[in-house]
Amino acid sequence: MINANTVLKLAVQKSGRLHDDSMKLLKECGIDITNGVNKLKSEASNFPLEVFFLRDDDIPQYIEDAVADIGFVGENVVYEKNKNVQVEHKLGFGKCRLSIAVDKNETYDGVQYLQGKRIATSYPLILNDFLQKNNVTAEIHEISGSVEIAPGIGLAHAICDLVSSGSTLFMNGLKEAETILQSQAVLIRNKDLDEAQQTILDKLLFRIQAVKKAKN
Ligand code: ATP
Ligand code: ZN
């Protein structure tokens, strides 16, 4: 039985590419959230769940610190932040890939092309891992946004950025050279949930799986 006083705290993106699908999933799970997007948090009326609206980048840290118990966030963010959290379930939305792209007129003949080059990215940790695994030494130039313009303004030879359709790359005269991570939204959790929290999480996961089955 669920402890009547326990409420599971879920962190979702406040606004952006994951927000709508996150709220839609809760709705499909039969969970009613009075949606106050401008509020920091909102409580479900018919399920022991409290939803926190946050920047996606902050979610792994909040889960590690147990400010929230679980979160919906992209795998790209989970791996880049490298916090002490556990990936519990793939959610099937927010699909994209983290790719290396170069000027469309360049001849890209494999990872060795990147040797000695400068690569602009918002994902220095994942990129560094990839380069190390491939024995490539390159300069990683970290920027927080508009990474795709870096080659055009002479800031970098290549970029490492999220891609879905590829239209942003195309519009900036770039081509995808290498995919380094396939990503989608996942449910992450704090590693030390108590029994009552775990019971609520199991119930939520059961509903998420039922929603997925109904779609297949
Ligand atoms: P926030 O204000 O919360 O920090 P953001 O600008 O960092 O938002 P969004 O652009 O809304 O983030 O992307 C959120 C997540 O959506 C990404 O981390 C990624 O997991 C996923 N995503 C799916 N497709 C794409 C795409 N084409 N480009 C960028 N992110 C994508
Ligand atoms: Zn973000």
Q: Please indicate, yes or no, if residue 2 is contained in any of the structural domains.
A: no
Flag whether pLDDT at 116 surpasses 80. Answer: yes
- Binned at pLDDT 50, 70 and 90, residue 97 comes out as very high
How many domains, in total, are found in the chain? Answer: 2
Give the chain's mean pLDDT: 96
Q: What is the pLDDT of residues 136-179, one digit of tens each?
A: 999 999 999 999 999 999 999 999 999 999 999 999 999 999 99
The preferred substitution site among 56, 144, 188 for testing ligand 1, maximizing ligand atoms within 8 Å of CB, is 56
Q: In terms of domains, do 177 and 211 share one?
A: no
Q: Please indicate, yes or no, if residue 107 is contained in any of the structural domains.
A: yes
Q: How far is the CA of 55 from the centre of ligand 2 (A)?
A: 6
56 touches 74 (CB < 8 A): yes
Flag whether pLDDT at 181 surpasses 90. Answer: yes
Q: Please indicate, yes or no, if residue 3 is contained in any of the structural domains.
A: no
Q: In terms of domains, do 145 and 194 share one?
A: no
Distances (CA, A) of 155 to 106, 113, 172, 214: 16, 17, 14, 48
Flag whether pLDDT at 25 surpasses 60. Answer: yes
Q: Is the CB of 183 under 6 A from ligand 1?
A: yes
Q: What is the CATH number of the domain that holds 46?
A: 3.40.190.10
Q: How far is the CA of 61 from the centre of ligand 2 (A)?
A: 13
Flag whether pLDDT at 2 surpasses 70. Answer: no
Q: What is the pLDDT of residues 49-65, one digit of tens each?
A: 999 999 999 999 999 99
- In angstroms, the CA 6 to CA 2 distance is 8
Q: In terms of domains, do 37 and 143 share one?
A: no
Q: In terms of domains, do 117 and 84 share one?
A: no
Q: In terms of domains, do 35 and 78 share one?
A: yes
Q: What is the pLDDT of residues 64-88, one digit of tens each?
A: 999 999 999 999 999 999 999 999 9
Ligand (nearest to CA of 14): 1
Q: Is the CB of 122 under 6 A from ligand 1?
A: no
- Binned at pLDDT 50, 70 and 90, residue 4 comes out as confident
**Domain of residue 127, residue span:** 96-183
Q: In terms of domains, do 142 and 190 share one?
A: no
Q: Please indicate, yes or no, if residue 1 is contained in any of the structural domains.
A: no
User: Which pLDDT value is given to residue 1?
Assistant: 53
User: Which pLDDT value is given to residue 5?
Assistant: 87
Give the 3-state DSSP-derived string for the chain, with helices as H, strands as E and coil as C.
CCCCCCCEEEEEECCCCCHHHHHHHHHHCCCCECCCCCCCEEEECCCCEEEEEECHHHHHHHHHCCCCCEEEEEHHHHHHHCCCCEEEEECCCCCEEEEEEEECCCCCCCHHHHCCCEEEECCHHHHHHHHHHCCCCCEEEECCCCHHHCCCCCCCCEEEEEECCCHHHHHCCEEEEEEEEEECEEEEECCCCCHHHHHHHHHHHHHHHHHHHHHC
Q: In terms of domains, do 167 and 207 share one?
A: no
Q: In terms of domains, do 177 and 193 share one?
A: no
Q: In terms of domains, do 178 and 108 share one?
A: yes
Nearest CA to ligand 1 atom 1: 55
User: Which pLDDT value is given to residue 8?
Assistant: 98
User: Which pLDDT value is given to residue 3?
Assistant: 59
Q: Please indicate, yes or no, if residue 20 is contained in any of the structural domains.
A: yes
